[in-house]
């Protein structure tokens, strides 16, 4: 069931953005009858600012549906308490302060690793962040407030617990950190420094899960890690520095206006 939920979440990441994108593409004249339709749709998805925003926005229902799937499996459709069953409490050695501290230290270490291994190369995620302020802030919101829960519920929650029972702690740690890292590779290509940093995060989170026997510290560590990165991007410390100009305001509002117009 844990593997099925993981596959389900992966399929959601593929198909929900298409559900958001395809009607808008048709609205803009990109239809299956368009010459070289796959190439035209791919270019449209990567270049049109509203199309990019819609694909980012699609992550929200993806995470929400993932939460529902995880809840159904963990509670057996409401028969068991969710947080108690999935490990949503503090361990004996790792509480709130320790989790926050680990998150900060991990962010610093991963930044050093990324820099040493070529962390300045632009990634696919950078292209999305820089496409428009609307996409940037929506992505940062999701990365901070929903992704840590969705990803930890699946990887360190369902998958780790199931694998630990089957093959033990060491095998579970190795498989979960590999799965978590590999899923993030397409977002950060061709920057292997950032991919290595994600691997470091995955290793630390999975070891914390194994050592504490609890999931809550992993969620807090992940939240702190992503939250620091989001704050740095918002204030221009990391990535392109946001500018408050008429063009920036337009690029923030225009995708939203296009989306509302499309809905009408």
Give the angle 13-23-61 at the CA atoms, nearest 5°.
35
Both tokens of 210, joined, read 């194994």
| Whole-number Å distance between alpha carbons of 255 and 82 | 37
Q: What is the pTM of this model?
A: 0.88
Percent with pLDDT over 90 in the chain: 70
The whole-number pLDDT of residue 119 equals 63
- Name, in order, each residue with C-beta under 8 angstroms of 214's C-beta and a sequence gap of 6 or more: 87, 88, 89, 90, 91, 94
| Position 109 pLDDT exceeds 90 | yes
Q: Residue 148: is it exposed, middle or buried by C-beta count within 10 angstroms (0-12/13-18/19+)?
A: buried
| Position 250 pLDDT exceeds 70 | no
> How much is the average pLDDT of 36-59?
94
The whole-number pLDDT of residue 185 equals 87
> How much is the average pLDDT of 28-53?
93
| Position 60 pLDDT exceeds 60 | yes
pLDDT tens string 137-184: 999 999 999 999 999 999 999 999 999 999 999 999 999 988 998 888
């Amino acid at each position: 069931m844990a593997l099925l939920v993981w596959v389900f979440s992966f399929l959601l990441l593929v198909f929900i953005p298409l559900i958001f994108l395809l009607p808008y593409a048709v609205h803009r004249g990109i239809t299956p009858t368009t010459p070289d339709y796959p190439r035209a749709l791919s270019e449209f998805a990567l270049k049109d600012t509203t199309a990019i925003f819609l694909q980012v926005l699609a992550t929200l229902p993806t995470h929400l549906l993932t939460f529902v799937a995880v809840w159904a499996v963990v509670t057996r459709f409401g028969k068991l308490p969710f947080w108690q069953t999935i490990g949503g409490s503090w361990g004996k050695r790792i509480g709130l302060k320790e989790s926050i501290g680990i998150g900060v230290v991990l962010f610093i270490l991963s930044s050093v690793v990324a820099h040493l291994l070529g962390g300045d190369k632009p990634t696919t995620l950078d292209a999305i962040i820089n496409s428009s302020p609307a996409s940037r802030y929506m992505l940062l919101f999701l990365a901070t407030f929903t992704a840590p829960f969705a990803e930890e519920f699946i990887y360190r929650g369902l998958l780790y617990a199931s694998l630990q029972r089957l093959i033990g702690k060491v095998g579970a740690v190795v498989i979960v950190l590999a799965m978590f890292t590999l899923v993030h590779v397409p977002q950060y290509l061709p920057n292997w420094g950032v991919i290595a940093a994600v691997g470091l995060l995955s290793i630390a989170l999975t070891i914390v899960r194994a050592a504490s026997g609890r999931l809550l510290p992993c969620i807090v560590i992940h939240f702190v890690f992503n939250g620091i990165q989001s704050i740095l991007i918002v204030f221009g410390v990391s990535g392109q520095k946001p500018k408050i100009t008429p063009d920036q305001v337009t690029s923030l509002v225009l995708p939203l206006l296009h989306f509302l117009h499309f809905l009408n």
